[in-house]
Chain A
């Protein structure tokens, strides 16, 4: 699709959408939303970009391989934080008991493990949506990558 209006507008919108997505992810422990909704917003920006330009332009920004690696990475962050708590001598997914710094409630950097976990969930959701989108567009040939 060669539409100058769509391309111009989406080029303006994409950075704002991404910033908002990151905001929702990083404030997951403070405000409504969190890893899932923020990740979905972030992924929507990439999907919008790939739709309004084309797939090869989209994959140049974030390739299919990278998104599927991030997909594993996001989940590994979540499980890793849980296991880290075990290593630090408390139960699985322990937070304060594991000695993660809790900060002052209401500040951006607070909540200990929760913020990191929300970030992992955000990465996972965003990359999963992007991977699904690429897989659907690329069709059957690469459906399992």
Chain B
């Protein structure tokens, strides 16, 4: 077998391997850390591209750890959704850490810089693992790695609010992990399987015998993944955690980490639990209403925020609502919009957080009211912020338009026009809090620290330009990703 055949495992293991190597490098070859991290992430990106190419040309395939076939061994299932998620993770993770190379020494203490790269690679490896795995317990292991790495990547700044936010996150996310573990135990107890494919085959029969076990497991899964994905009533940890973290951390946490749990939920709901369970519990209806509340209330909270990063964090609560809206509607177009939004929102929210980080880097100002005129003195970051804001509102030629378009279409297809109205209303709400910032940034007089910003390193500006260009390019040519997403949706819905 050629090396390419092992890429499903190597995509996860290489970042994991280098995550453990990083503390040693930080000890003896400090200057290599950043370059190694970049090389590893570039490797994951290109291997995800290769996997995507292979899946698109010859269909989904599996990889067995150690050559053991399931139900004994752990299986990676490389399908359309998995490669789409892996591409999103590595494609956004790479520019964020490029930005971080200049930003992190500014935000962190000298001694912890090497550890940051360790945590970042661990986070990437665990998310890629969650995307690719086809095994329930393997999923849980990656969930745990991801939870601990993301708490640490917040508290690494060692300021008072970071530690407090990270602790809150740690406690709530541990509750979520506990729920997941219980759910896995309940499912394993009655089916005897952990592999998704085998579970999907045995669950319909088992469901008739042990309906309560399965329902309890389902409820625990929803709560566990819901806490981690910050689905509306379970979102309380998110605003503090995402706003206090270092900017590159905020960008990956808001852009990628909460989405990966949504992907896990999509996999479980559509691939593992058979369609018949919908008759036993109104799961999809519950998801729909929770996501509707998330969209409306998240946006309303965002309107009243004074701190730029906190506003972006509340906006993430609303945006994760879109993903779950697509999941809950379960029509082809809606699910397509929801999955597409995972990528689109990752790109624009990462860019918005990085742009906010650039403002803070150069001026030290976090308050929205003091950022007036920033567009005059820092045109590139403010321009990127403006593109991101327009993408959030869903203005055509930005990528945000397409996910909202498909969500609204999907709501109509599903015969629930109310939710199309929700998408429209929330776009208005997004406009209410994003547009004044843009107007103030470009059309008022800069004052105070904003008038004389420090110099922004070229790497940080370059990253923002690349991400901004990405938002526009995927807005004009959505077909670049739509083919993959559409096939993922068709496979999930069994069309």
Contact = CB atoms under 8 A, between A and B. Distances in A.
Nearest to A95: B66
A134 to B, nearest CB: 15
12 contacts: A75-B20, A76-B17, A76-B20, A79-B17, A82-B9, A86-B9, A93-B65, A94-B67, A97-B66, A144-B111, A144-B115, A145-B111
Interface residues of A, number: 24
Contacts of B65: 91-93
Interface in B48-67: 63-67
Nearest to B19: A75
A80 interface: yes
Interface stretch (B21-29, B183-191, B314-322): B21-29
Contact of B23 (A71, A91, A92, A97): A71
Contacts of A68: 23
Contact of A72 (B24, B109, B156): B24
B13 interface: yes
Given A91-B64, A95-B66, A72 B13 contact: no
B295 to A, nearest CB: 39
Contacts of B63: 91-92
Interface of B: 1, 3, 6, 9-10, 13, 16-17, 20-24, 27, 63-67, 109, 111-112, 115, 156
B16 A94 contact: no
Given A69-B27, A144-B112, A76 B21 contact: yes
Interface in A67-104: 68-69, 71-73, 75-76, 79-80, 82-83, 85-86, 89-95, 97
Given A83-B13, A97-B67, A145-B111, A92 B20 contact: no
Contacts of A73: 24
B66 A79 contact: no
B66 A92 contact: yes
Contacts of B6: 86, 91-92
7 closest cross-chain pairs (CB), A and B: A92-B9, A75-B20, A93-B66, A79-B17, A91-B67, A97-B67, A94-B66
Contacts of B23: 68-69, 71-72
